[in-house]
A = this chain, B = another copy of it.
Amino acid sequence: MILEEMYTRGGIRTPNASQIQQITAYLSLYGKIEGKNVFYWFQNHKARDRQKLRKLLNHHHHLLNYPDSCPPPVLPQVSHYSSVGFLPQDGVLEDASTQTMSYTWTVDHHLTERCEMDKSIMTRTYGRDWMMMLDVDPTSHCCNNKPLKTLELFPITATGLKDEHIPPTSTNN
């Protein structure tokens, strides 16, 4: 948590030897620790942080450039469901959203079929980072042949629980 603070609030990304020494000295108050630990921590943290960001930007990129050519690899236009009551903790999701959401997804799905260069684009833009590719389910890239039956799945029936093997659903909320 301390390092996290230094990283996030302090903005430290690549501490130099001197900084590492001091940080190490400070942290050693809590237990055995070496400079390399601190070094690796920052290196890993920065890398994974950046990776996360890139992933995000990549998806954002898709949304901006192919808003209706394929389903967003990750984030489904927040504006969509948020304005449709998708996010609200409550049960708005239950009724009202069903229709609207269905609509959105339907659209996405329709357009899905045209997205084939998706991967190539990704590769072209972030070729070196294949790790990002793992985000997309290979079996259903963005153009899987899943029928647009999503809508039909919505008719939610409380009974569906068992079928899904959903563990004890604390019906609270």
Contacts and interface: CB of A to CB of B under 8 A. Distances in A.
Interface of A: 1-2, 5-6, 9-22, 24-26, 28-36, 38-40, 55-56, 59, 71, 73-76, 78, 81-82, 86-89, 91, 93-94, 97-98, 101, 104-105, 108-109, 111-112, 115, 119, 122-123, 130-131, 133-140, 144, 146, 148, 150-151, 153-154, 156, 158, 160-162, 164-167, 169-173
A30 B82 contact: no
Contacts of A24: 134, 137-139, 164
A31 B137 contact: yes
Contacts of A112: 18, 21-22, 25, 29
A73 B91 CA distance: 40
Contact of A87 (B10, B33, B59, B73): B10
